[in-house]
Chains A and B, each alone.
Chain A
Amino acid sequence: MGVAMNPEWLTHRVRQGQPHVFSVDIQNTENNPRVATCGCDGIVRIWFLQALVDASKEPFEKEPERDTDSVQMEENSSKENSCSNHKIPENALASSLSYHSRSVNMVRWSPQGQLLASAGDDFLVFIYHKEEGRGYSPFGSNEPAPVENWRGRKLSGHSNDVLGIAWSPCGNLLASCSVDNTIIIWNIHSDTIITRLQGHESFVKGVSFDPTGRFLASHGEDLAVMIWKTSEWRIEKEIREPFKESRTIEYQKSLFYRLDWSPCGRDLVCSNCLAFCEEKRTHAAVIFRRDCNFEKPIYFRSPVPILCVRYSKRMYKCYKDKPVNDENESYSALALGTSSGALLVWVSKSSKPLLILKKACKGAILDISWSADGYSLIAAPAIGAPLYIRFTEEELGYVLNAKEEKDFFDSVRSQLGANYENIPLTQSTIQLEMERLYAKHIQEGNDHMSQHQNNISQELMEREKKSTVHPSEQQQQQQQREYNVGKKRRIVPKCLSTAANPQESIAENSRLTTETNHDENHIMKSSSSNMNGYTSIETSISVSPNGEEALAKRNMDYSFGPKKEEESPSNESSFFLQDFHRKLDSYTPTLGEAWLFHSQETMDNQYSSTKLPAFPMEWSKHRVIDEEEKISLRVENDELCCIRNDTILWQAALGKNASPVALAGEKTTLYTAVTSNNMLHLFSIFGSRLYAPVLLNARPHMLQVLKGYLFVILVNGEMSLYRVPQVSLVLRTSVGPILPEQVVEKMGQPVFYPPLVSKQEDVCLTLYNGSSYLFQKNLGNWICIADDSFIHSEFFHINFNTQKENISPKYLLTWFRKMAGKTTVPKLSNVKPAKVFLETLAHLETMMASASILHSKEEFKKLLLCYIEKLCSAQATQIPSRIERLREVLDDILQGQQGFFSRNLESTEKRNFMLQVLLPAVSKNRQLQNIAEEYVEKIKSM
């Protein structure tokens, strides 16, 4: 048999006032759930439900009168439960939180259960999370020391008392409603306001998200229930009719109009309704069905006002071992609390209440909460002790198992057009068409590659979890210190703990958190303390142990360097971005290196002191020019020989005492040699001198002959590009600005990959550290087109080297997918997805700009697609301005003539590119379907 009790200790009171509980909520977890309560004393208390279970087992337990079959009202005497249970039992109180400075009106646990939110008359909303360490009870309260350490952070935005809160089913959003007539939607990851809903003409007294996340319902004192569509935060439906009679003083006095959705999301139930039905006025709770477009209300009548309603999160069935079918139908359970303190429990299979407790509580019931297992219930009264009831399976029914429940929810939600994963409905055929296109692209792409991508993001998430590190240990300040400020002593206190980033310390998995503290792979460094002597550190640097390995690998790359250099650069004078990236294939940067490169900003004197290594010795006497045709240059007896297949093509004398220090050539252009007296000799392909010896300003570092160009870098950093064979200088500049600092230490090793020269005669140099720079003549400066700035970008290792021949514009996406699949995430720990996201965006933007400068249209399109995909990803919801950014890009492409994006797309292909590639990518996220649609319409009307 079930049990019921009124624990006097589970209350709030101000001084000698009456005990009361304004709101109660049981944590949505089956494993040792907590109960949160609040009241006028400004304190939020967290209890263990187990304490109630234990207390109800005490001898004074009392069986409330109940009748499972009849509607007959029964006098219940459970409140006469006269045991003096005022004292808080040991280990009942998990925490006592005194953040609010006024009454606390509502508490709610997040759907996943790790966070607690509270709203109060001090206009504030707080979100609490659990931390390691000991907790404190409000000082001077004489309460038992709390077992757990919960800490709050505030959300400030309302301009008057906050009466209600609701979590979105995904746990990312929090809605709060206030006497200021507005509802604020908070992003609880950034603690920012996503939007402020204005529509009610009076106090908003209750809010609730539907379990599919598609709607938010709110009930205001203007006697309207508004259904807001969460995809664009506009009013979907305004319900006034059933409440028009409710303008009576007793309803206006009602503090809250708490409303709730059935667990499947089909029914919305509202309290505080004075219905006019069957020619009579009657108090009622009113149920609106989503499948009837929230019309045709169903009334649940009562002789006294119904002040609160709450569905159990579970579904039940009558027969334990039989599957759910027509004979063993599943049903939900709804608890209703009235102003007279009566509690009613109603199950949807029956037209009559399952249970009526006429005197469940002394005062009006303001809030009710069901436990996650579906059998416990707590009702919070305005006066007196709350009511705790534990039902048995026989009484309430058998809770559906997870699969049955999911099947049921799925079937209901599919009828309602909202599926289980909380994805908005398609609203038009355009969206479906776009999605079909996208799916097609994906299928044509490599499936396992995209899966790989998922793995990466999962890996990232994992890492994020792991990187959750408690700073407290490192930051614990030694001892207090003191000194004098004027006449007064100033004491620097001992720091017990500083605020960890709440996102990082979500108490979801505290076990994991403690483990990672000992993770030897992470060497934690705390940055220096501030001038007060205690730390305010948010960032910690972690150095991956793979660093050395990667470095070793890099050193190997260096040893292969010369071989690579033998390969002449691309035959064409035009080039694509991928040519650079191909060279970066084997390059694995490490964080340490990336940081070194960052520090190059500080080098000022590089211009003057640049000292590049001299031209490689092994090429000074012999150098292979063309491997296929076996052409090589060789110095024999002070004479320069050009040899093919061991036969000498031509010979030339270099002059007295002049031994060559550098050789270079290209079989169709010319051959060159630099002698020890810094003279540059130029020879035609047949060995005749083309020009008088040119005196170089210093010894050469690099000597390259490209098709039509001669390229020289001297050890002092001077770079020259000559047009050949009619020798004329194209440009001369210093490579100093782009040199990494430690170039000197890497003496004797090549610094640059062979240069590339564009049609515009701009030179692109790629450093062995992976950074690429372009010298733009008309700008007169080096431009960074690829570097390690965005090391956390998901596209950091993008490889543009896939088989070119397969590209056809039609399969652009497929092709791209392949490449994206090759991306690897740098081996870095401690990187938050949000940071990765931002860096990825920045990286893509830079790459697009680079592609634009390089006139690489294909690349640009691919990058643009990546960029759009990123902007539309679900992760981007954390950036409030993303939709504006997306629109900006799309508008630019569509309308702009000189905009960045439209400039880089052929006007003729724009339309198809948008329709075939970009907009399907947008449609992938159904949250954005109206945008996809809008632009499809725009394009079609053009």
Chain B
Amino acid sequence: MSAVEVLQVNVLNNPGFFRDPFCFEITYEVREALQQDIEWKVIYVSCAKDESLDQVLDEVLLPADTVGRFQFTLEVSAPNPDKIPSDDLLGITAVLITCSYKDQEFIRIGYYLNNEYDEAEMNENPPSPPLLENIRRHIFSEEPRVTHFLHSFDSPESYLDENASHPSYNSLLDTVEETQHSKLKNSDVQSSRMNFV
């Protein structure tokens, strides 16, 4: 069981301009009280091909020591345009919201977003230097990509270790139809980054 589950994320001030802050209203549920704070991060993918250019827009701590449902609004400033390769400033990219506990990520929510000038002509011939005031940002808020990562949280739960499962049972399962026991883990633990178009 994930000790913390994201119930809903509302993307506020969307669409907006490039320089507008990102604003997410996050509703989460603490299902098991945790000893330490959980950490939320908002990461802007500057360049799909180069992970090192990812910008961490903000990191915030939230308490998770009470079981219940909670809501907060996470407002983070826009990415630094100087750190974005000029080719990647416009077009489709992504923003990621991650939540980690004890420096280990357990949920990642990705949104594709599109940056473009409000005038079609400018999109075809982007001005240089870019006119940030005129770049509009649209987050595809209807299609979040949610990835869960197994996390032991405060208790070392043995099922995280695949080998702890009864070996013969697993081997038997392999012979069963693929659909029946395709392990969630395999399907969920994909690449830690989103795959881009």
Seen from chain A, the residues whose Cβ lies within 8 Å of a Cβ on chain B are 13-15, 17-18, 20, 40-42, 98-103, 121-124, 126, 136, 139-140, 152, 154, 159-161, 179-180, 203, 252-253, 255, 363, 382-383, 480, 482, 485, 488-499, 530, 532, 534-536
Q: Which of B9, B29, B32, B184 contacts A42 (CB 8 A)?
A: B184
Inside 8 A of B62's CB, which chain A residues have their CB? Answer: 490-493
Inside 8 A of A140's CB, which chain B residues have their CB? Answer: 109, 144-146
Is B114 an interface residue when CB atoms closer than 8 A count as contact? no
Inside 8 A of A493's CB, which chain B residues have their CB? Answer: 28, 62-63, 70-72
Inside 8 A of A496's CB, which chain B residues have their CB? Answer: 27, 68-71
Inside 8 A of B179's CB, which chain A residues have their CB? Answer: 13-14, 17-18, 20, 40, 382-383
Is B88 an interface residue when CB atoms closer than 8 A count as contact? no
- Residues of B166-191 at the interface with A, using a CB-CB cut-off of 8 Å, are 166, 169, 172, 175-185, 187
Since A14-B187, A492-B63 are in contact, a sample of 18 more A-B pairs with Cβ atoms closer than 8 Å, ordered by chain A residue number, is: A14-B179, A101-B148, A102-B184, A103-B181, A123-B159, A136-B27, A139-B5, A160-B165, A160-B169, A490-B63, A492-B72, A493-B62, A493-B71, A497-B69, A498-B66, A498-B68, A534-B68, A536-B66
**What residue in chain B is nearest A254 (Cβ atoms)?**
B176
Q: By the criterion CB–CB under 8 Å, are B182 and A40 in contact? A: yes
Is B6 an interface residue when CB atoms closer than 8 A count as contact? yes
C-alpha spacing A713/B8, complex, angstroms: 70
- Residues of B26-79 at the interface with A, using a CB-CB cut-off of 8 Å, are 27-29, 31-32, 37, 39, 58-63, 65-74
Q: Which of A363, A482, A534 contacts B66 (CB 8 A)?
A: A534
Q: Which of B148, B180, B187 contacts A20 (CB 8 A)?
A: B180
**What residue in chain B is nearest A102 (Cβ atoms)?**
B184
Inside 8 A of A497's CB, which chain B residues have their CB? Answer: 68-69
Q: Which of A17, A121, A139, A154 contacts B9 (CB 8 A)?
A: A139
- Residues of B83-125 at the interface with A, using a CB-CB cut-off of 8 Å, are 109
Q: By the criterion CB–CB under 8 Å, are A154 and B1 in contact? A: yes
Kindly provide the distance from the CB of A501 to the nearest chain B CB, expressed in whole angstroms: 11
**What residue in chain A is nearest B39 (Cβ atoms)?**
A488
Kindly provide the distance from the CB of A592 to the nearest chain B CB, expressed in whole angstroms: 30
C-alpha spacing A6/B117, complex, angstroms: 50
Is B23 an interface residue when CB atoms closer than 8 A count as contact? no
Is B14 an interface residue when CB atoms closer than 8 A count as contact? no
Q: A101-B1, A140-B146, A496-B68 are in contact. Are A17 and B182 (CB under 8 A)?
A: yes
Q: Which of A124, A485, A530 contacts B61 (CB 8 A)?
A: A485
| Consensus secondary structure, chain B interface | mixed
**What residue in chain B is nearest A537 (Cβ atoms)?**
B66
Inside 8 A of A152's CB, which chain B residues have their CB? Answer: 31
Q: By the criterion CB–CB under 8 Å, are A139 and B184 in contact? A: no
Q: Which of B1, B74, B184 contacts A491 (CB 8 A)?
A: B74
Kindly provide the distance from the CB of B158 to the nearest chain A CB, expressed in whole angstroms: 7
**What residue in chain A is nearest B67 (Cβ atoms)?**
A499
Q: A20-B180, A40-B179, A139-B7 are in contact. Are A488 and B70 (CB under 8 A)?
A: no
Inside 8 A of A121's CB, which chain B residues have their CB? Answer: 159, 181
Q: By the criterion CB–CB under 8 Å, are A491 and B72 in contact? A: yes
Seen from chain B, the residues whose Cβ lies within 8 Å of a Cβ on chain A are 1-2, 5-9, 27-29, 31-32, 37, 39, 58-63, 65-74, 109, 144-146, 148, 150, 157-159, 164-166, 169, 172, 175-185, 187
C-alpha spacing A15/B147, complex, angstroms: 13
Q: Which of A40, A203, A490, A494 contacts B169 (CB 8 A)?
A: A203
**Closest CB pairs A-B (n = 5):** A498-B68, A140-B146, A493-B70, A18-B179, A493-B72
Kindly provide the distance from the CB of A425 to the nearest chain B CB, expressed in whole angstroms: 38
C-alpha spacing A123/B1, complex, angstroms: 10
**What residue in chain B is nearest A149 (Cβ atoms)?**
B69
Inside 8 A of B7's CB, which chain A residues have their CB? Answer: 136, 139
Kindly provide the distance from the CB of B35 to the nearest chain A CB, expressed in whole angstroms: 13
Q: By the criterion CB–CB under 8 Å, are B159 and A494 in contact? A: no
| Consensus secondary structure, chain A interface | loop
Q: By the criterion CB–CB under 8 Å, are A17 and B31 in contact? A: no
Inside 8 A of A180's CB, which chain B residues have their CB? Answer: 166
Q: A253-B172, A383-B177, A491-B72 are in contact. Are A41 and B66 (CB under 8 A)?
A: no
C-alpha spacing A393/B28, complex, angstroms: 48
Inside 8 A of B144's CB, which chain A residues have their CB? Answer: 139-140
Inside 8 A of B185's CB, which chain A residues have their CB? Answer: 102
Q: Which of B1, B67, B165 contacts A124 (CB 8 A)?
A: B1
Q: A490-B60, A496-B27 are in contact. Are A101 and B184 (CB under 8 A)?
A: yes
Kindly provide the distance from the CB of A78 to the nearest chain B CB, expressed in whole angstroms: 21
C-alpha spacing A126/B68, complex, angstroms: 16
Kindly provide the distance from the CB of B56 to the nearest chain A CB, expressed in whole angstroms: 11
Q: A123-B158, A252-B172, A480-B73 are in contact. Are A139 and B61 (CB under 8 A)?
A: no
Q: Which of B31, B70, B164 contacts A494 (CB 8 A)?
A: B70
Inside 8 A of A14's CB, which chain B residues have their CB? Answer: 179, 182, 184, 187
Kindly provide the distance from the CB of A815 to the nearest chain B CB, expressed in whole angstroms: 50
Q: A123-B158, A499-B68 are in contact. Are A489 and B61 (CB under 8 A)?
A: yes
C-alpha spacing A122/B2, complex, angstroms: 11
Q: Which of A123, A482, A495 contacts B69 (CB 8 A)?
A: A495
Q: By the criterion CB–CB under 8 Å, are B67 and A498 in contact? A: yes
Q: By the criterion CB–CB under 8 Å, are B176 and A253 in contact? A: yes
A-B contact list, 17 entries, CB within 8 Å:
A15-B187, A40-B181, A40-B184, A101-B148, A140-B144, A154-B32, A160-B169, A253-B175, A363-B177, A488-B39, A489-B58, A492-B62, A492-B63, A495-B70, A496-B70, A532-B63, A534-B68
Inside 8 A of A154's CB, which chain B residues have their CB? Answer: 1, 31-32
C-alpha spacing A42/B187, complex, angstroms: 12
C-alpha spacing A40/B182, complex, angstroms: 7
Kindly provide the distance from the CB of A631 to the nearest chain B CB, expressed in whole angstroms: 70
**What residue in chain B is nearest A489 (Cβ atoms)?**
B60
Q: Which of A13, A101, A490 contacts B150 (CB 8 A)?
A: A101
Kindly provide the distance from the CB of A324 to the nearest chain B CB, expressed in whole angstroms: 43
Inside 8 A of A480's CB, which chain B residues have their CB? Answer: 71-73
Q: By the criterion CB–CB under 8 Å, are B158 and A159 in contact? A: yes
Q: By the criterion CB–CB under 8 Å, are B59 and A488 in contact? A: yes
**What residue in chain B is nearest A498 (Cβ atoms)?**
B68
Q: By the criterion CB–CB under 8 Å, are A98 and B184 in contact? A: no
Most chain A CB inside 10 Å of its own CB: which residue of B145, B158, B175, B177: B177
Q: By the criterion CB–CB under 8 Å, are A161 and B176 in contact? A: no
Inside 8 A of B146's CB, which chain A residues have their CB? Answer: 139-140
**What residue in chain B is nearest A22 (Cβ atoms)?**
B180
C-alpha spacing A403/B177, complex, angstroms: 47
C-alpha spacing A372/B46, complex, angstroms: 58
Q: Which of B39, B71, B166, B180 contacts A40 (CB 8 A)?
A: B180
Inside 8 A of A382's CB, which chain B residues have their CB? Answer: 177, 179-180
C-alpha spacing A485/B178, complex, angstroms: 48
C-alpha spacing A154/B155, complex, angstroms: 13
Kindly provide the distance from the CB of B139 to the nearest chain A CB, expressed in whole angstroms: 14
C-alpha spacing A136/B159, complex, angstroms: 27
C-alpha spacing A332/B169, complex, angstroms: 36
Kindly provide the distance from the CB of A339 to the nearest chain B CB, expressed in whole angstroms: 11
C-alpha spacing A13/B182, complex, angstroms: 10
Q: Which of A18, A100, A203 contacts B1 (CB 8 A)?
A: A100
C-alpha spacing A660/B8, complex, angstroms: 83
Kindly provide the distance from the CB of B193 to the nearest chain A CB, expressed in whole angstroms: 17
Kindly provide the distance from the CB of A113 to the nearest chain B CB, expressed in whole angstroms: 24
Q: By the criterion CB–CB under 8 Å, are A491 and B159 in contact? A: no
Kindly provide the distance from the CB of A132 to the nearest chain B CB, expressed in whole angstroms: 12
Most chain A CB inside 10 Å of its own CB: which residue of B6, B72, B146, B157: B72
Most chain A CB inside 10 Å of its own CB: which residue of B31, B63, B179: B179
Q: By the criterion CB–CB under 8 Å, are B183 and A102 in contact? A: yes
C-alpha spacing A625/B172, complex, angstroms: 94
